[in-house]
Amino acid sequence: MLVVLMIISILLLIAIPNMTKNNEVAGEKGCDATKKLLLGQVSVYEMEEGNAPTSVSDLVEAGYADTATCPNGETLELDDLVFERSS
């Protein structure tokens, strides 16, 4: 019985750090996807409104986006999107 518990403990010690790393990677990928989506919405806003938005909250208020935050909780600013656009 002790051997079984020791094996399960070792497996948990190996598995838990890998699972937390995967969650971090998923959060980063989700944030990248949100930035790309908002960047596309900036272009639509510019075409329909005739001027560029002054902030990401302009997109939310005008109905071009649902949120100005990433899935990992990071709040996005327009400068983040402009940087992505130029690269």
Considering its fold, how many domains does the chain have in total? 1
Phi, psi (5° rounding) for residue 75? -85, 130
**What pLDDT is stored for residue 7 in this prediction?**
94
Query: Could you report the per-residue pLDDT of 22-63, keeping only the tens digit for each?
Result: 777 888 888 888 888 888 888 899 899 888 888 888 888 888
Residue 13 lies in a domain: no
Q: What is the pLDDT of residues 3-15, one digit of tens each?
A: 999 999 999 888 8
pLDDT value of position 87: 47
Assess whether pLDDT exceeds 50 at residue 2.
yes
Q: Which pLDDT tens digit goes with each residue over 68-83?
A: 888 878 888 887 776 5
**Enclosing domain of residue 79:** 28-87
